[in-house]
Structure 1
Amino acid sequence: MKAYKNIIVPTDGSVNSKRALEHAIVLASSLGASITLVYVANIVSVISNFDQIPNASGYVTEQVALDMEEEGKGVLDDFAKEVPEGIDVKTVFEVGSPGPAVLSVAKKYKADLIVMGSRGLGPLKGLFMGSVSSYVVTHSGCPVLIVK
């Protein structure tokens, strides 16, 4: 049987990402694996929704980036608290396109498995939609468990 040592769990705070974490916890506790929680801020996607706002000073862009980072780190902290003692947990905040960013983190941290929700909160609040899970499944170098 394949030994899973590091499980990557992308999250956006959605119910499906919480379910994915629950599955990852069960696997990590029975296999002695660690969990790496990942939040990806897709700032370009969000900022494109503000294209009608004059942005001479860059204030809108800067403020959106700060707000997204604060929200992302808050989600990561909340999810990390759900992981029982005895399971090693790391948190990673990334900026970029969600699918490629998740795969980059998986490669960097030598993931043996990615456990993720099938859909997230949508393009404004969350970052993981069906297209992201599909992208990860298609391009991942390790097994992917999709949780509904």
Structure 2
Amino acid sequence: MKGFKKIFVAFDGSNDSVEALKKAEYMSKLSDARLTVGYVHEPSLDTTVTPGLTKDSDPNLYQSHTYVGPIPPPNIGSQINAAEPNLQDNTPDNIISEASHRLSHLVNVEYEVLYGKPANEILDFTKEKDVDLVVMGNRGISGIKKLVMGSVSKKVVDEAECPVLVVK
């Protein structure tokens, strides 16, 4: 199969994006296309920060890169659930490293970390780099959550200037 020269796959480490990565790898091999694996880092929408409030201004506050608030009470005697994701693992470097590990046998691949709103960044990047095909997973959000948050894959499908393959 010839025709695709530049394939972009959106990867965030989720199960759907892993499936999209597999499909993109397969399609890039068929087309002998350049594969770009992209991760879009977006600051958490769940974080509420009071302007000017820092750990230095109030020693009773706990501050991390995603949370400023009262110091959480210690969980004496509780163990960390191994099934819970480690937030440290969701850094752009770790996500890209995971993708790189999964595609270590591919020679014609590059990795990009983009910053901002996922749909907008994917659309801008693929237009700027003249991408022939976008491959992405579908998280399957529905109902109220989809209404409020929208769908990254839907926006990319609607607005991309090239074909988009959404993998379920």
- TM-score by shorter chain over 0.5: yes
Alignment partner, residue 65 of structure 2: 63
Contact 1:42 1:97 in 2 (8 A): yes
The percent identity for this pair of structures is: 31
CA distance in 2, matches of 1:61, 1:35: 38
Q: Please state which structure has a larger fraction of its residues in helix.
A: 1
CA distance in 1, matches of 2:13, 2:140: 8
> Higher Cα Rg: structure 1 or 2?
2
Residues 10/134 of structure 1: CA separation in 2 closer, same or farther (3 Å cut): same
Choose from 60, 63, 80 the match for 2:100: 80
Deviations, residues 1-25 of structure 1 (Å, cap 9, x unaligned): 7610111001111000000010011
Alignment partner, residue 11 of structure 1: 11
Deviations, residues 76-119 of structure 1 (Å, cap 9, x unaligned): 11112212534411111111111010011111221100000011
Runs of 4 or more consecutive aligned structure 1 residues displaced over 4 Å after TM superposition: 57-62
Q: Structure 2 length normalisation: TM-score?
A: 0.69
Alignment partner, residue 20 of structure 2: 20
Structure 2 residues not aligned, in runs of 5+: 56-61, 67-86, 142-148
1:103-118 to structure 2, matched below 5 A, reads: 103-118=123-138
Q: Residue 63 of structure 1: CA displacement?
A: 2.5
Contact 1:32 1:87 in 2 (8 A): no
CA distance in 1, matches of 2:136, 2:114: 16
Contact 1:41 1:95 in 2 (8 A): yes
Q: Residue 58 of structure 1: CA displacement?
A: 6.5
CA distance in 2, matches of 1:4, 1:10: 17
Q: Structure 1 length normalisation: TM-score?
A: 0.77
1:47-58 to structure 2, matched below 5 A, reads: 48-51=45-48, 53-56=49-52
Equivalent pairs counted in the alignment come to: 135
SS of 1:135 mapped into structure 2 = helix
CA RMSD after TM alignment: 2.9
Alignment partner, residue 142 of structure 1: 162
Structure 1 residues not aligned, in runs of 5+: 122-128
